[in-house]
Amino acid sequence: MLNTFGSVFRLTSFGESHGNGIGGVIDGCPSGLELDMDFIQAELDKRKPGSTQAGLAGTNRKEADKVQFLSGVYEGKTTGTSLAFFVENTNQKSQDYSQMVNSYRPGHGDRTYDEKYGFRDPRGGGRASARETVARVVGGAVAQLYLKNVGINVIAYTEALDGIYAKDFGEIDLEQCEKRMFFAPNDAVIPHWQKRIEEVRKDLDTLGGVVSIEAHGVPAGLGEPVFQKLDAYLSYALMGVGAVKAVEIGAGTKAARSRGSQNNDAMYYDGGKLYYRSNNAGGIEGGISNGQPILLKASVKPIPSVAKEQKTVSRQGENITLSIGGRHDICAIPRIVPVLKAMTAIALTDMFLLQKRMGMEKRETVF
């Protein structure tokens, strides 16, 4: 298993859903960064089941996830050495999942893990569990602290739930979105989403949606031109989160249906400064950031654990039916939102440091 993400700012993740806990080691974090523990814990709280933002979509499980740093910090600041952290598992009941051990749940990785490894961790998915994302959110919170210092701000919000788009009910307001229920970008859409969730829950079904992630303040120049283009790398980061089935940059799929003269973002100078008239590029041209906001979209599939009866198969090769109860979410959104934000922040920090350290040919020319 490849448990490390990043080339300069590197997160190595460890831990299982039903073991001692989840942790990670961040290597390559610059020294002197103030490690704001309240911010880190607050980011981690956002992915908790039952958080305010989870609204009615979440489960009732209570997880008291408290992050603790084991190394790399001195008097509240990073020392530039490896930064290890740990989040203890306090409320993991293996038995909840026990009945699923011998069936392959549709839409999960049950069968593919079995094909790959020849065994399945009987304890709630092990490394395949969404609980592994705890390490990503902590790593992403550290990355965000670094990015804030260099003027970059990453924001994530729910754009649509089951085809209901927030923008059809009001303005997109980024200021408060991470405090609203569902990480909604306006208040008006919330009752519509609540109503739909209730309906789907009654149907014993689940639903998906679209998450937008934006990064403001990214300077021009991030991204390597041939194989580590900024858009390719961000796509790798987001598509690596379970349940994501599509990643779009800027105009995304719409670009395929527009003309060059429309899709191009015209530039102009005003008062000696360069501006763009649009942002169909999503802040990235030729694989390199252009100084405009980075705009990303992730399409999130419905949670595959439906209470409705499904036809499937057992490990032993029988055709069976299955209805999945237990304490599952009905939608990966909103809990996936802080995870997608975290991965964006980690990837941007890595590319920022790579640019700062490796790619600045402008400053790295010999003379």
Q: Which of residues 215-244 bind a second copy (CB under 8 A)?
A: 220-221, 223-229, 231-233, 235-237, 239-240, 242, 244
**What's the CA gap between 153 and 143, in Å, rounded?**
11
- Residue of 37, 39, 310, 326 that binds a second copy (CB under 8 A): 310
- Can residue 359 be called a binding residue for a second copy (CB under 8 A)? yes
Stretch that binds a second copy, among 11-19, 44-52, 56-64, 187-195 (CB under 8 A): 11-19
**What's the CA gap between 47 and 137, in Å, rounded?**
8
**Closer to a second copy by Cβ: residue 221 or 338:** 221
Which tokens hold the place of 24?
Answer: 């990670």
Cβ proximity of 116 and 126 under 8 Å? no
Assign 29 to helix, strand or coil: coil
Residues 45-64 that bind a second copy (CB under 8 A): none
Stretch that binds a second copy, among 7-15, 51-59, 172-180, 183-191 (CB under 8 A): 7-15
Q: From the CB of 173, what's the least distance to a second copy, in Å?
A: 22
- Residue of 217, 264, 279, 326 that binds a second copy (CB under 8 A): 264
- Can residue 205 be called a binding residue for a second copy (CB under 8 A)? yes
- Can residue 279 be called a binding residue for a second copy (CB under 8 A)? no
Beta bridge mates, 270: 273
**What's the CA gap between 147 and 126, in Å, rounded?**
31
Cβ proximity of 141 and 46 under 8 Å? no
Residues 311-340 that bind a second copy (CB under 8 A): 311-313, 317-319
Burial class (CB in 10 A: 0-12, 13-18, 19+), 207: buried
Stretch that binds a second copy, among 39-47, 91-99, 183-191, 272-280 (CB under 8 A): 272-280
**What's the CA gap between 135 and 339, in Å, rounded?**
10
Cβ proximity of 83 and 69 under 8 Å? yes
**What's the CA gap between 84 and 11, in Å, rounded?**
10
Q: From the CB of 104, what's the least distance to a second copy, in Å?
A: 6
- Can residue 212 be called a binding residue for a second copy (CB under 8 A)? no
- Can residue 214 be called a binding residue for a second copy (CB under 8 A)? no
- Residue burial 3-14, b: 16+ Cβ < 10 Å; e: rest: eebbebbbbbbb
Residues 87-126 that bind a second copy (CB under 8 A): 104, 106-113, 115-119, 121, 123, 126
Q: From the CB of 177, what's the least distance to a second copy, in Å?
A: 18
Q: How many binding residues for a second copy (CB under 8 A)?
A: 155
- Residue of 67, 152, 210, 339 that binds a second copy (CB under 8 A): 210
Q: DSSP strand E in 301-336: where?
A: 310-314, 319-322
Stretch that binds a second copy, among 36-44, 92-100, 179-187, 352-360 (CB under 8 A): 352-360
Q: Name residues whose C-beta falls within 8 Å of residue 138's C-beta, 6 or more positions apart in sequence.
A: 24, 40, 43, 44, 67, 85, 87
**What's the CA gap between 115 and 206, in Å, rounded?**
27
Provide φ and ψ at 294, rounded to 5°.
Answer: -80, 125
- Residue of 154, 181, 303, 336 that binds a second copy (CB under 8 A): 303
- Residue of 92, 144, 212, 305 that binds a second copy (CB under 8 A): 305
Q: From the CB of 199, what's the least distance to a second copy, in Å?
A: 11
Stretch that binds a second copy, among 43-51, 59-67, 170-178, 305-313 (CB under 8 A): 305-313
Residues 151-180 that bind a second copy (CB under 8 A): 160, 162-163
**Closer to a second copy by Cβ: residue 175 or 257:** 257
Cβ proximity of 46 and 340 under 8 Å? no
